[in-house]
Amino acid sequence: MTTETSQQKGGTAQGANLPAKNGDKSPVKQSPKGELIEIKPIKENGPLSVEETIRKVNELQENIDTRELLQSHHKAVSSLRFGEFDPKDRIVLESHTGEKYPITSPSLNSEVSELIKRRIKEHIDEVEQLIVL
């Protein structure tokens, strides 16, 4: 005649009070109060729907187009050269009412072009951050 201890029956064995995991791989933990807490795994993003894929591709194309436009503006401003005082070298500010103000100072022209290049480069960097697959 064999006698089974309570440990052999699973009565006091560690983890005996945990529910059976029928193929479920989510871990089950026991809280300090003795309650069972099931931790669900983070679901991975599944494949995108056709509409979502098209939307993302359109956004990506818009960002690429914006980047190309900004780069062409940056190249155009970078090609500007201002020498010693030359009345032909000028930058013209024009308001929405048509008022114009020409800047003929070589140092001001250089400063304005550097400011414009820096700002365009900042916008290029921002757009490049949005171009993600």
Give the Cα separation of 18 and 37 in Å (integer): 10
Task: Calculate the CA dihedral of residues 84, 72, 115, 100 and round it to 10 degrees.
Answer: 70
Among 113, 50, 52, 108, smallest CA distance to 80 is for: 113
Spatial neighbors of 101 by CB under 8 A, at least 6 apart, are 92, 93, 94
Phi, psi for residue 89 in degrees, rounded to 5: -80, 115
> Hunting for tokens 């030359």 — which residue is that?
86
Position 100 scores a pLDDT of 95
Half-sphere exposure of 66 (CA within 13 A, CB side): 18
Q: What is the pTM for the complete model shown?
A: 0.58
pLDDT digits (tens, 9 = 90+) for 53-100: 899 899 999 999 999 999 999 999 999 888 777 777 888 999 999 999
pLDDT digits (tens, 9 = 90+) for 10-56: 545 555 455 444 544 545 555 556 666 666 555 566 788 899 889 98
Give the Cα separation of 58 and 52 in Å (integer): 10
